[in-house]
Amino acid sequence: MRILAADVGGTKTIVSLFEGAPGGWRELATRTVVSAAYPGLAPILTELLEGHDGDVDAGAFGIAGPVADDHCEATNLPWIVDARA
């Protein structure tokens, strides 16, 4: 099982890819970027996943901002993140 995780902030965003392994989890990749340098979360996730073949089974994203109808409007960024995307 693979899990994609993100901590999105107005200053920086940290994204990580983990894989379930016997006895626990193994970190496959982590990337920290300047949030404002990207137009949204998707390009950051795409960069992280490059070179990591295989499906992602689940995701967990922490984003500061109000959520309505599965959309989060980031508080300190001009991003709208769609949970269904």
Q: Domain map of the chain by residue range? A: 2-82
Among 7, 9, 8, 51, which Cα is nearest to 28's? 51
Residue 83: per-residue pLDDT: 86
Judge if pTM exceeds 0.85. Answer: yes
Burial of 3 (0-12, 13-18, 19+ CB in 10 A): middle
- Each residue's pLDDT expressed in tens, for the chain with a length of 85 residues: 999 999 999 999 999 999 998 889 999 999 999 999 999 999 999 999 999 999 999 999 999 899 999 999 999 999 999 988 7
Residue 22: per-residue pLDDT: 83
How far apart are the C-alpha atoms of 42 and 36, rounded to whole Å? 13
Which two structure tokens, joined as six digits, stand for 59?
């995701």
Place of tokens 């995701």: 59
Residue 84: per-residue pLDDT: 82
Choose the CATH number for 2-82 among 3.40.50.720, 1.10.600.10, 3.30.420.40, 3.40.50.1370: 3.30.420.40
